Amino acid sequence: MTFSQALEIRAGITAVIGSGGKSTLLEVLARELGRQGTVVLCTTTRMYPARNCFTLYDPDEETLEEALKALGVVCVGRAEREGKLSAPGLSMEILCHLADFVLVEADGSKGLPLKAHAPYEPVIPRETGQTICVVGLSGLGKTVRQAAHRPERYAELAGIALEDPVTPQAAARVLRAEGLGDRVLLNQADDEHFQALGRALQAELTVPTVIGSLWKGLVLC
């Protein structure tokens, strides 16, 4: 089974939020969905251009349409500092008109495996059909301070201290409190240890949850 099948990605806009593999998930989904139709990757905040994917910097509608016809998968956005992209000038409505699938990275996590969201996050387009929340299992067992972006907020939602290790139960409390994802991907299940942690976390959640390893290309359950 592919990640797009396991996460039941549909045509239209899919927002990807959370931590521990957002950018990689977007690239994996783009590769899988590119076999079914045209795909646009973009952000509502800031992201690095997708690897192995042609990038257009703030294209007009005609330029993007031609690129999609020729290439199938295109990353779009406005050039920012540090080589990153910000949101494209074209509206989400136009992107949906031009592409079968629009994949949006809707927040940042500073490369950490866990995250709690500030009140102004994530930046999810109103036209979004579904939101996937990514959680990096490598953060479990580490302290909140070590593993989480916005650690003070994460500790508050988890009901633990900054120096306490993050357990599957604590991580589940954060996800339940925020309630931001229609589906959850527990990523980084790279070995039996993290697969067991993933199953323990999955058991605490009521939203549809997939355990897998984007690095290994494995969908486990």
Range of the domain at 64: 3-219
- What is the total count of domains within the chain? 1
Mean pLDDT taken over the chain: 96
Instruction: Please report, for the domain that includes residue 131, its CATH number.
Output: 3.40.50
| Closest alpha carbon to 118 in 145, 156, 83, 88 | 156
The arithmetic mean of pLDDT across residues 7-34, rounded, is 96
- The rounded distance, in Å, linking the Cα atoms of 30 and 36 is 10
Q: Is residue 82 left, alpha or beta, with left meaning phi > 0 and alpha meaning psi from -120 to 50?
A: left
- The rounded distance, in Å, linking the Cα atoms of 40 and 96 is 9
pLDDT tens digits for range 182-217: 999 999 999 999 999 999 999 999 999 999 999 999
pLDDT tens digits for range 164-178: 999 999 999 999 999
Q: 26 Cβ partners below 8 Å, 6+ apart? A: 16, 41, 50, 103, 105
